[in-house]
Structure 1
Amino acid sequence: MRFISTISTLVLSATLAAAQSSSSPAPPVSLYNPDFALVRSKVAAALTATGTCKFAPGGGSCPENAPCCSGAGYCGSDPAFCADNCQVTGSFASDSCWPLPMAVNLDDQFKDKARLIHIKDFTGYPTSADWVIDRSPGTREHAVIEDDKLVLKLNRVEKHPETGGGIGATVHSSRWMKYGTIEARFKTASNMPGTVSSFILISPISGDEIDFEVVGKDPSDMQTNFYYRVQPGNKVDYSHGVHVNVNLDTSLDYHTYRLDWTPTEMKWWFDGELKRTTLASEVVGSFPDTPMRIAFGIWDGGYGEKGTTEWAGANTSYEPNESREYQLSIDWVKITPMTPENATDPWPGAKYIKQMENGLNNGNSNGGIGNGGGNPNSGNSGNGNGVHGGGPVVGGDGGWMGGNAASGLHSARSVVVGGAVAIATVLATVLLA
């Protein structure tokens, strides 16, 4: 699943998905997953042609008391500016943006529903939740914890506004990991052509990714893949996909999927059996090596672009009478980072807590402290025209949270308070360190 930018006001990003082997037909140029909403870096939206923060007061880079240039080009000092797509270029200093919250050892049996939170309610602090539900169009909830399972749902009660297909869900970890092991026991939803179930590591900014995917037209086909630093507009290298026949229907029962990722190799496991190994020395120049988040996804590949439907299986069935629902059910997840975060200095660290306390963040009616902006209640967060720029995070970003899109489901104020402060990301210069 590969993330690329989109012009739609209904989603923040789209996802490329491919897992093709040499024995399969060549993959299409792009495979969109419109239900994924992880944020890609938008440097062009945040910075001027000379590389300064677009709406910094007086021009230039952000001032010391509001040091962080947000993904929409406004200056501030709280997570809305410093942790969500913060731009190192345009910020006051090279270390103004907050560091990534790195993974700790986690053995999650999904006993606590409060550890799953919607992105609009997530403050960005990883101690407040383990899992974050990404945005998707529509009004229904598609990811829940019930009966000690994390359940992701795909249905067509509401049609997807871009594809006309069903609407699914994506859940990502609140923390990032650079090397380690992820393991999960789950039952795929892939029992009908068009349905796609995924368990992946991904960085929405650097473009690195490591995948497990199962497509409903063949639920015994475990597709493994990886990508290296794919950015919007760049050519995607689909040559690393390998199909593994596990000789059973993965939608009928729970099975254990495991991925080991070290500086020297990647290993894909299924029910305790090693199915694939890729050495870094075999793929020099294309081995994923930046921090990534863990994510689960279910989406409808049966509608949309021709290449996607050919890969996933055309026209996913929701019969009888559009009432059928598909579920990806996750029993447990274990995350074992190679180097767990040091818990003695809680994220983002004393330096950045002080920076926030002493700085200006506001998120007020002038879009932080930047030029332009506008009233965060105006509901025009996608315009970014200096009059109705909305909140400091979304103004000028073409987001879908304002009143002019998605029927105002997420106002600009809700984005400032919760939604867009959620994804604790920094610019690729931090990711690539």
Structure 2
Amino acid sequence: MKITSVLAAATLAMASTTFGQSTCNEWAPCYREGYCNTDAAFCLWGLCDESKSYNSTSCWKPEGCVSKVVNFDSSSDIVPIGSYAGNPDTNAFLSIFEPDNTQVSNSNLELRMTYDASANKGFGATAKSSHTIQYGRVTARVKTASLAKGVVTSFIIINEQTGDEIDFEWVGLNPDQVQTNYYYKGVLDYTKMLPANVGSDSSAAYHDYTIDWSEDKIVWLVDNKPIRTLNRADTYDASTGVYAYPTTEGRIALSIWDGGNSGQQGTQEWSGYPTPWSADTVYKAYFDTVTVECAGGSTPSSSDDSGSEEPSQTGKDEESSGSDGGSHEPTGAPENPKCIPRPLV
């Protein structure tokens, strides 16, 4: 299962189009899903549509991979996407939705899901990495929120434009299991999902979950023990002559969302339903650390190290904005957009 967002049009500048080309202006240069704006929710690589933006340099460049350990010991390790100034070395993760259900607490990233009475379902949270990655090893130390039917916790690598995705997901219906899956170019083939036993209730204790992604294979590991291997050679489709294997640069995404009250039958049966709710119920997922080891990169350094310069992944350009983000935010920009989570099935 996947999470994406829909945009609240009230805060955006509508893009007029001619023959499919945007007329976004210099004050709101970045095009996304029919609207123009100036902040990271529109200009961030992977979200911004370069072909319909003001010009070829409007969308921000991909940030590339940096080997590091994010310890979540500083509130600056995550910021709302609308206030992100474009410096991935300052803010490791971006909170995607409003209201913001993320916080750094006791050296953990806490993702919360609360009850939305108007929708009769939970409103969760998603944190996406500011740096991108194309091949490498990512480990998240997680205590999931999946202690009740319908509550879904996820740790994935995703490219929203191409639809390539590599998943770890936990559902409250089976809290002692973790489920692995992958998608190629957005084809939602759920038959490739495979469950594996964690060894205990995933919501009761921390475990290390690793995605080891190379050009030739993907290995999923729990507590450094392989639970699944996908070889690229085994994804070849003779009818199309294509390897249905994720290859495109993406971002790390950490999420909690309500599958049980999603209104989608397949999602509800998969996650368990209905999700138990009362007015004061809060489900919480905890991420202790996220360790990124880029393909061919250096040994990861801690996020609290200062003064060190991290090498970027080969062939990727680094953003070079000032601390005020002025290179990305023209004067007179529209207000920040609001987003809400929506599960896709």
Normalised by the length of structure 1, the TM-score is: 0.63
Counterpart of 2:183 in structure 1 is 227
Counterpart of 2:123 in structure 1 is 167
Counterpart of 1:50 in structure 2 is 19
In our comparison, the structure showing a higher alpha carbon Rg is 1
| Contact 1:53-1:69 within 8 A present in 2 as well | no
1:233-276 residue CA offsets vs partner (Å, 9 max, x unmatched): xx522232111123421111111111100111100001121100
Task: List aligned pairs for 1:369-384, cutoff 5 A.
Answer: none
1:38-70 residue CA offsets vs partner (Å, 9 max, x unmatched): xxxxxxx857352322346xxxxxxxx889553
Task: List aligned pairs for 1:288-299, cutoff 5 A.
Answer: 288-299=246-257
**Distance change (3 Å), C-alpha of 1:236 and 1:47:** farther
- Distance in structure 1 (CA, Å) of the matches to 2:197 and 2:41: 44
The structure 2 residue matched to 1:194, chosen from 147, 150, 164, is 150
1:147-181 residue CA offsets vs partner (Å, 9 max, x unmatched): 1111111232x43x44x112221111111100101
- Distance in structure 2 (CA, Å) of the matches to 1:153 and 1:187: 12
Percent identity between matched residues is: 30
Counterpart of 2:82 in structure 1 is 120
Task: List aligned pairs for 1:258-337, cutoff 5 A.
Answer: 258-284=210-236, 285-305=243-263, 306-318=265-277, 321-337=278-294
Amino acid at match of 2:145: A
Q: Quote how far apart the aligned CAs of 1:96 are.
A: 5.9
- Distance in structure 1 (CA, Å) of the matches to 2:72 and 2:329: 35
Say whether 1:181 aligns with 2:137: yes
Amino acid at match of 2:151: T
- Distance in structure 2 (CA, Å) of the matches to 1:143 and 1:361: 24
**Distance change (3 Å), C-alpha of 1:262 and 1:148:** same
Counterpart of 2:202 in structure 1 is 250
**Distance change (3 Å), C-alpha of 1:363 and 1:142:** same
Amino acid at match of 1:70: Y
Normalised by the length of structure 2, the TM-score is: 0.78
| Contact 2:96-2:128 within 8 A present in 1 as well | yes
| Contact 2:24-2:31 within 8 A present in 1 as well | no
**Distance change (3 Å), C-alpha of 1:236 and 1:103:** same
- Distance in structure 1 (CA, Å) of the matches to 2:7 and 2:291: 36
1:267-305 residue CA offsets vs partner (Å, 9 max, x unmatched): 000112110000111113311111111111111111022
Unaligned runs of 5+ in 2: 237-242, 298-309, 340-345
Structure showing greater relative contact order (alpha-carbon pairs closer than 8 Å, 6 or more residues apart): 2
- Distance in structure 2 (CA, Å) of the matches to 1:336 and 1:248: 27
1:309-353 residue CA offsets vs partner (Å, 9 max, x unmatched): 1111111113xx533322111121101111557469983359x9x
- Distance in structure 2 (CA, Å) of the matches to 1:148 and 1:92: 41
Q: Quote how far apart the aligned CAs of 1:362 are.
A: 3.7
The structure 1 residue matched to 2:107, chosen from 148, 154, 177, is 148
Higher strand share: 2
- Distance in structure 1 (CA, Å) of the matches to 2:53 and 2:60: 11
Q: Secondary structure at the match of 1:120?
A: helix
Give the length in aligned residue pairs: 312
**Distance change (3 Å), C-alpha of 1:6 and 1:222:** same
| Contact 2:144-2:284 within 8 A present in 1 as well | yes
Amino acid at match of 2:113: L
**Distance change (3 Å), C-alpha of 1:104 and 1:55:** closer
The structure 1 residue matched to 2:172, chosen from 206, 216, 223, is 216
- Distance in structure 2 (CA, Å) of the matches to 1:155 and 1:119: 20
**Distance change (3 Å), C-alpha of 1:2 and 1:300:** closer
The structure 2 residue matched to 1:103, chosen from 61, 65, 72, is 65
Q: Quote how far apart the aligned CAs of 1:79 are.
A: 6.6
- Distance in structure 1 (CA, Å) of the matches to 2:291 and 2:130: 14
The structure 1 residue matched to 2:97, chosen from 120, 135, 138, is 135
Counterpart of 2:2 in structure 1 is 2
Counterpart of 2:31 in structure 1 is 70
- Distance in structure 1 (CA, Å) of the matches to 2:7 and 2:104: 32
Q: Secondary structure at the match of 2:233?
A: helix
Amino acid at match of 1:325: V
- Distance in structure 1 (CA, Å) of the matches to 2:262 and 2:206: 29
- Distance in structure 1 (CA, Å) of the matches to 2:8 and 2:272: 24
Q: Quote how far apart the aligned CAs of 1:74 are.
A: 5.1
Q: Quote how far apart the aligned CAs of 1:135 are.
A: 0.8
- Distance in structure 1 (CA, Å) of the matches to 2:19 and 2:105: 50
**Distance change (3 Å), C-alpha of 1:8 and 1:276:** same
Q: Secondary structure at the match of 1:281?
A: helix
**Distance change (3 Å), C-alpha of 1:244 and 1:67:** same
- Distance in structure 2 (CA, Å) of the matches to 1:95 and 1:330: 35
| Contact 1:46-1:69 within 8 A present in 2 as well | no
Q: Quote how far apart the aligned CAs of 1:86 are.
A: 3.6
1:356-402 residue CA offsets vs partner (Å, 9 max, x unmatched): 86xx97453xxx7xxxxxxxxxxxxxxxxxxxxxx3xxxxxxxxxxx
